[in-house]
Chains A and B, each alone.
Chain A
Amino acid sequence: MGIVCPLGHDIATMWDNILNCRSGMSQTTIFDATTYPTKFCSEVKNFDFAKYTKNPELHQNGNRHSKFAIGAVAGACKQAKIEVESENPNDGVNRRRMGIYLGAGEGPVDSDIFFNAIIKGWDESTSTMDWNKWADFAYSKMQAQMELEQEPNMPAAHISIYTGARGPVRSCLTACAASTQAVGEAFKVLQSGQADVMIAGGAHSMIHPLGIMGFNRLTALSTRNDSPETASRPFTASRDGFVIGEGAAIVILETLESAKKRGVEILAEVIGYGSSSDAFRVTDMHEEARGAVTAIEAALKDANVSYKDIDYISTHGTSTSENDSIETLAIKTVFKEEAKNTPVSSIKSMMGHLIGAAGAAELISCVLAIRDNVLPPTINYNDPDPELDLDYVPNKPRKADINIAMKESFGFGGQNNVVIIKRYEN
């Protein structure tokens, strides 16, 4: 496993911060957001990309999230004993049997050029665009490589060069559910025998002028500008939106046979995956949590376990009014009498919402929860929403026996994905 996120650039640091209930949120510094409705976010800070590569020229144009992705892949490959940037790797992994599945976002647009080209071309008096003026400016400013890096398949491109992976390579973007879907589909790629090893996870940064504008217009973001650290407060009565984060999270999935042959440490076992679609409304989740319930039930069935076997649920838990209510309803619907006895939490209270990368980052916390038998908390849980009455592991981590954990993610647009993992026992 490897991670680059607002709570740290390696697994140990991230986990230490989570267990000590630290928040990654502060004033936005990536761009000047001082006049935006939301002026804060959860940024990756002091990221030193140079230490991850001996070929910096190959990645110099890479966008923030592509570089985060390489940082996360570096950590994950080190733990899984997979050589990177190697002409002749001697790690027992056939590169044609090693694939990549990322839930990756688009690169941020080069906003200075984007905005100014429009201003140059726009004629206020006639409400028309002079495309010649627009094009002249764009031609003189846009750089080919920087434009290329805005395409959403570029993080996967950087990873394939970095690792030499030549097996199935795919990249998906199902909004906030993307990297849970990527891990789930990578699991299925392995099950179907198309590969021995899959590099899976997500990378995303939407902390840019158009991204924050878009979410602000949707009124999806918290505007608690006077208190960024307490702004993400999933399942509370005073929750007012999510806090956007950024980063990359990678897990190496491998067939048991290959992992044993190579003698690598097995951190957990993926046992189930479920995917569904709300098919309800463009703007809202289904009011009876239809899609979420379908995905959870599909994952349980795939894992061949009962809801009674789930020891911990890592929720989507965004801290928006709608998600936290519908998600609680989904859990109650599936878990019935066990709902209130099953601990559920949201580390988005500390990390923020990594959008495409969120699911994989939270799945990593599930692996660590199983390893350490500790439930990561939901912080800022000081005013429970009376309607939401599950065990949200409030405010501090808690010891518990955890053998099976479930990660759920729900995307804008109604894509729902659930992955279930289990303690590996030889």
Chain B
Amino acid sequence: MTVAITGLGAATCLGLSYKDLWAGLCGGKCGISRITAFDPESFECQIAGQVPAFSIRDYVPKSIRKTTKLMSRDIEIAIIAANEAFKDSGLKTKAFDEQNITINPKRSAIILGANSISCDLLEIAPSIAKGAVDGKFDIRKWGTDSIETVTPLWLLKYLPNMLACHIGIIHDLQGPSNTITCAEAAGHLAICEAFHIILRGDADVALAGGGESKVNPIVHMRQALLKRATKEHNNNPEQACRPFDADAKGGVFGEAAGCVVLENLEIAKNRNAKIYASVAGIGQSCSINANYEFLEADGKGIQYAIESAIESAKIKPEQIDLIVPHGTGIYAEDVAEAAGIHKALGSIASQIPVFPTKSMVSNTGSAAGAVDVIAACCAINEGVIPAAKNCDNVNKNCKLNIVKEQIKKRINYALCTGYTYGGQTAAIILKNDNG
């Protein structure tokens, strides 16, 4: 069986549609800007990739609109991406037309990458403030006076599986449901798992991808403390994130959601669906490093994942026409990822066009892999590799062919790689199935 990608959906700092994402990437547009969600003045890194304004009520069917009260930001943006992906696929779910559903709910899976959602501090602050005695938190006072003032369903806004829960309800997806919590590799790994669920016949259709908002004071500070966020370019956000550039000074974090619809290629063809690409192979491994926050220097975890993906896709490295790397803009990570790519692909590695996206969309954690897979699908579909941004002076230690100017050519195979702090790695090979 071949598993096809037949629908795309995204909400990123470049817009509320995958079309905005792709147009932005092609136009070298940077979505990173000064943080507006909170006053970032005292933060080392004051910029992020933020999803533009929306009203979530526009994306949720009227009959269940009161559930919007139970939605954290991560859930909201994931719903936007999921809606678009199904719409784009041409499949009719309960959300669009209850009378003419064209999916079998019990054979429809949802596998998303998500993180433990950091709570809205403003929401809980009044309750916590009531638990203070002489300006310090007092747990007994909190227990006595404050707990009851927290909204009863508070916890349900912040469980990572709630992205899949809400989307499953909106579109009536009753098949396998999972939430992969592997941080920045979660989006890739969710697509890997969904691919296997279709292959093994446990579902006909799977919605896969990820969603996360890192525009939260705690999450933002965490990345700064780990020395993964850039301190520079606060006044010049467009130039801040510089994957594989000699002047890379750290990552920029943000929010996004990305979803793809996967289904059996034959079934998709029979219903005349648009086929963006098929999943040719996947690989998973991990980086082993005593410094858990960074990739190991020799990139072995990335190398192993790519080698497994190539083996499962039954292709040779020279058949790959495009690499969409994780490319965080953290100097040591870029060097390590490049090392892994070189070891896995051999001498051809320095020639294959490489297109990193994070200089424009920021590092969106659990969504990052899905955003990259969507970009690769668009590239395959249009035969276009956009020019990379902020990589004017390629890091000599990376020796990669970062795309300088837009390339127009047929892409037969594209490789997407992902890794995360904590070590999990993934590689996905997409195949052009048109013509």
Provide the bound-state CA to CA distance between A134 and B128, in Å.
13
Q: Give chain B nearest CB distance to A71 CB in angstroms.
A: 19
Q: Mark A185-197, 1 if CB is under 8 A from B, else 0.
A: 1001101101000
Q: Mark A137-157, 1 if CB is under 8 A from B, else 0.
A: 011001111011011111011
The residues in A between 193 and 234 inclusive whose CB is less than 8 angstroms from any CB of B are 194, 209-210, 213-219
**B417 beta carbon closer than 8 Å to chain A:** no
Chain A residues near B173: list those with CB within 8 A.
277, 279
**A318 beta carbon closer than 8 Å to chain B:** no
**B272 beta carbon closer than 8 Å to chain A:** no
The residues in A between 112 and 150 inclusive whose CB is less than 8 angstroms from any CB of B are 112, 114-116, 118-122, 124, 127, 129, 131-132, 134-136, 138-139, 142-145, 147-148, 150
The answer to whether A217 and B152 have CB atoms under 8 Å apart is yes
Query: CB within 8 A of A217: which of B136, B144, B155, B172?
Result: B155
**B96 beta carbon closer than 8 Å to chain A:** no
Stretch of B9-17, B76-84, B117-125, B352-360 at the chain-chain interface: B117-125
Known: A119-B135, A169-B286, A172-B181. Is A214-B423 also a contact (CB below 8 A)? no
Chain B residues near A277: list those with CB within 8 A.
110, 164-165, 168, 173-177
Chain A residues near B420: list those with CB within 8 A.
153
The answer to whether B181 and A166 have CB atoms under 8 Å apart is no
**A49 beta carbon closer than 8 Å to chain B:** no
Q: Given A144-B225, A174-B164, A414-B168, list of 13 further CB < 8 A pairs?
A: A31-B139, A100-B286, A106-B181, A118-B129, A151-B421, A157-B424, A160-B288, A275-B202, A277-B168, A277-B177, A282-B153, A282-B166, A294-B174
The total of Cβ contacts below 8 Å across the A-B interface reads: 288
Query: CB within 8 A of A174: which of B147, B154, B177, B227?
Result: B177
The residues in B between 154 and 173 inclusive whose CB is less than 8 angstroms from any CB of A are 154-156, 158-162, 164-166, 168-169, 171-173
From A121, A164, A172, name the one whose CB has the most chain B CB atoms within 10 angstroms: A172
Cβ contacts A to B, 24 pairs, < 8 Å: A115-B142, A116-B136, A119-B129, A119-B131, A131-B40, A132-B39, A134-B121, A142-B221, A142-B222, A153-B182, A153-B186, A157-B424, A160-B286, A164-B288, A166-B300, A169-B182, A192-B196, A210-B119, A213-B154, A214-B155, A275-B177, A276-B175, A412-B156, A413-B165
Known: A151-B116, A153-B181, A413-B164. Is A118-B128 also a contact (CB below 8 A)? yes
In the A-B complex, the 8 residue pairs with the smallest Cβ-Cβ separation, listed nearest first, are: A35-B143, A214-B155, A106-B116, A277-B177, A413-B165, A135-B42, A115-B137, A168-B284
Interface of A is mostly: mixed
**B199 beta carbon closer than 8 Å to chain A:** yes
The answer to whether A33 and B153 have CB atoms under 8 Å apart is no
**A36 beta carbon closer than 8 Å to chain B:** yes
* CB nearest neighbor in A for B37: A131
The answer to whether A278 and B174 have CB atoms under 8 Å apart is yes
The answer to whether B178 and A174 have CB atoms under 8 Å apart is yes
Query: CB within 8 A of B183: which of A153, A279, A294?
Result: A153
The answer to whether B137 and A415 have CB atoms under 8 Å apart is no
* CB nearest neighbor in A for B110: A277
Provide the bound-state CA to CA distance between A33 and B142, in Å.
10
**B180 beta carbon closer than 8 Å to chain A:** yes
The answer to whether B116 and A152 have CB atoms under 8 Å apart is yes
**A34 beta carbon closer than 8 Å to chain B:** yes
The residues in B between 328 and 373 inclusive whose CB is less than 8 angstroms from any CB of A are none
The answer to whether A282 and B42 have CB atoms under 8 Å apart is no
Chain B residues near A192: list those with CB within 8 A.
196, 199-200
Chain B residues near A46: list those with CB within 8 A.
none
Provide the bound-state CA to CA distance between A206 and B105, in Å.
33
The answer to whether A129 and B129 have CB atoms under 8 Å apart is no
Q: Give chain A nearest CB distance to B360 CB in angstroms.
A: 25
Q: Mark B284-323, 1 if CB is under 8 A from A, else 0.
A: 1110111011000000110010001000000000000000
